[in-house]
Amino acid sequence: MSELETKSPGNFIRQIIDGDLKAGKHDGRVHTRFPPEPNGYLHIGHAKSICLNFGVARDYQSGKCNLRFDDTNPHKENIEYVDAIIDDVKWLGFDWQDRLFYASDYFQQLHDYALELIKAGKAYVCDLTAEEVRDYRGTLTEPGKASPYSNRTVEENLDLFRRMKAGEYEDGTRVLRARIDMASPNMNMRDPTLYRIRHGVIHHQTGEAWCIYPMYDFTHPISDALEGITHSLCTLEFEDHRPLYDWVLNNISIASHPQQIEFSRLNLQYTVVSKRKLTQLVDEGHVSGWGDPRMPTLAGLRRRGYTSSSIREFCDRIGVTKAENSVEMGILEACIREDLDRNAPRAMAVLDPLKVVIENFPEGETQQLEAPNHPKDEGMGKRTIAFTRELYIDRADFREQASRKYKRLVTDGEVRLRNAYVIKCNQVINGPDGEIVELRCSYDAETLGANPQGRKVRGVIHWVSAPEGIPAEIRLYDRLFGHPTPDGDKGVRSFLEHLNPDSFKVAGNAVVEPGLAQAEPGANYQFEREGYFCLDQQDSKATRLVFNRTVTLRDSWQKIDRQKG
RNA sequence: UGGGAUGUAGCUCAACUGGCAGAGCGACGGACUCUGACUCCGUAGGUUGUAGGUUCGACCCCUACCAUCCCAGCCA
């Protein structure tokens, strides 16, 4: 039953690889890499890339996938992110074996290749300020003009670059640039920056060994080549960078030449999948952190109760193409529901308790009833639940009067208590404000595991024993944004305006069945008729159980209510 | 008004590379049910962005147009 051994569906990238294999390219090897920058937590969009890269490696004979941190900008990067990313990729179910790398592992080699370019007259040290560089670059419709420093001699460039490295110059005073074509219609080819100076930052891997740091466009192709990557998969915005990727490899003495292939990033409705925006949500305190259960981060989804296999399944279902996309949240939800319906044990929890007194059940007595942990999987075993004279049902499961569509308890009506007896509501007790505070009911002792004689009971509701049940806090999460594309709405100043104020609610007076005291942190349950929940890994304590709602059950009554009421 | 890409069902993707346009999710209707869940059965939904062209035959090839996305960081 290991999903990891199941092949992912085909896509255009796998077709390219198939073709390459048939043509005998790359000595018949397939080697990919997942190259995160450790400047934030991984999100569901990264999961798409991880599943693609590691999935390809898994599905091809002797395929390999490296985990490589693209850590060339110490300003934004952080060891905390490195650790979190490692955890997340592992959790997602993938293994890079002994191939954990850092672009910073190659700083010396990168530097030496830069020297090669300088010696070949293909790179130069430029003294222009950042603004001047921008001016010289031209615009989308006008060509740029050559930097006044682009004609320095090789010797001068070598000397200047050596001194850059030696720390003789301040940040921003000089850069190393490739000499390509200032008139190229592709902006990336207008003498792109290769190295910049960064003093006073401590790199999480290399410490203070370097004060010059290579740019992505220089680092990435070389790192790929050094690792023997065959197919370098990245997102669409790097399409324009491919000529530069190839230029770098074609102009240095490196034999290997991986093939860059671009695919479209994931967009998920009712959330944002952009590290910048997620960082903003965290920094400005709109969420409790990167692992907030409402975040589309892997850490957030995990805490919310999503399983890694459901996320892998999601990635298989959405596919890989080059088309812009906007994936409905329903697909992700369908994946977790499918997983949890099959695998999560059932339990009962009352979120908004309303007291019920079974008048014809003896006071002080507890009857242990038996209930299956899963309605369709006997292998999951049984549990006992306590039935007592006083119990709780959910306030929403009672109405003084209702139409025939309402299949729950009404005054003078009957309803089945799940896994227990049929009860009848005889009397409604109101509080001083007219609020319903208690229901006086009677139970039919003949109805345990049997239908009542001569009459039909229209509904089944869940319940928990009042004296035996355990108080719990149940956190109800909903979509973080109230708009399908919060970052795509031009009618609003900031995507933050679409934050859903109801994305987090707490059912603080919930009561759960006694057996849940033994729940393991992170364990998934279906609370019958409510949804899927997991025991919170961080905040739940033996003295105060905390559950997170992962997702509700599919809800066909909502629309019925909408239609009728 | 430069360059690069992308348009197939509501959404995400298929279509053996020129041979009767399908699937998953969703929607709608029904059956079943001690979860308004699950499961099962059924229905709707397409001028394949548009207009031409090539061909016995075009989602696929050609031309033009339209729409959308990306690119002017010493970010990745």
Q: Do residues A289 and A282 touch, judged by C-beta distance below 8 A?
A: yes
pLDDT of residue A560: 61
pLDDT of residue A3: 41
CATH number where A226 lies: 3.40.50.620
> Are residues A439 and A327 located together in one domain of the fold?
no
Residue A146 contacts strand B, CB under 7 A: no
- Tally the domains of chain A: 3
pLDDT tens digits along A117-126? 999 999 999 9
The answer to the question of residue A466 being in a domain is: no
> Are residues A417 and A486 located together in one domain of the fold?
no
Residue A199 contacts strand B, CB under 7 A: no
> Are residues A187 and A97 located together in one domain of the fold?
yes
User: Integer distance in angstroms from CA A452 to C1' B26?
Assistant: 39
> Are residues A332 and A355 located together in one domain of the fold?
no
Residue A154 contacts strand B, CB under 7 A: no
Q: Active-site residue numbers of A?
A: 37, 265, 275
Nucleotide nearest A556, CA–C1', reads B36
> Are residues A444 and A502 located together in one domain of the fold?
no
- Burial category of A533 from C-beta neighbours within 10 Å (exposed 0-12, middle 13-18, buried 19 and up): buried
User: Which SS3 state, helix, strand or coil, does residue A286 take?
Assistant: coil
pLDDT tens digits along A437-447? 999 999 999 99
pLDDT beyond 90 at A277: yes
Nucleotide nearest A35, CA–C1', reads B76
- Candidate from A141-155, A295-309, A324-338, A393-407 with smallest mean pLDDT: A393-407
The answer to the question of residue A270 being in a domain is: no
> Are residues A26 and A57 located together in one domain of the fold?
yes
CATH number where A298 lies: 2.40.240.10
Of residues A127, A125, A67, A69, the one with CA closest to residue A99: A67
Residue A58 DSSP class: H
Residue A180 DSSP class: S
Q: How confident is the model at residue A458 (pLDDT cuts 50, 70, 90)?
A: confident
Q: How confident is the model at residue A559 (pLDDT cuts 50, 70, 90)?
A: low
pLDDT tens digits along A474-529? 999 999 999 999 998 888 999 999 999 999 999 999 999 999 999 999 999 999 99
Residue A448 contacts strand B, CB under 7 A: yes
Q: How far is CA A337 from CA A78, A224, A429, A494, A532, in A?
A: 35, 38, 38, 32, 8
User: H or E segment at A289?
Assistant: none
Nucleotides of B under 7 A from a protein CB: 1-8, 10-15, 17, 24-28, 34-39, 68-76
> Are residues A180 and A39 located together in one domain of the fold?
yes
Of residues A19, A42, A17, A45, the one with CA closest to residue A31: A17
Nucleotide nearest A220, CA–C1', reads B76
pLDDT of residue A382: 97
Nucleotide nearest A338, CA–C1', reads B38
pLDDT of residue A50: 98
pLDDT tens digits along A169-178? 999 999 999 9
The answer to the question of residue A467 being in a domain is: no
Distance CA A558, CA A522 (A): 29
Domain extent at residue A229: 3-265
> Are residues A250 and A160 located together in one domain of the fold?
yes
> Are residues A378 and A500 located together in one domain of the fold?
no
Nearest-5° angle of CA A101, CA A106, CA A110? Answer: 150
- Tokens found for residue A249: 């490899």
Of residues A410, A392, A530, the one with CA closest to residue A458: A410
- Tokens found for residue A290: 């990167």
> Are residues A137 and A253 located together in one domain of the fold?
yes
Please tell me which residue lies nearest to nucleotide B34, judged from CA to C1'.
A418
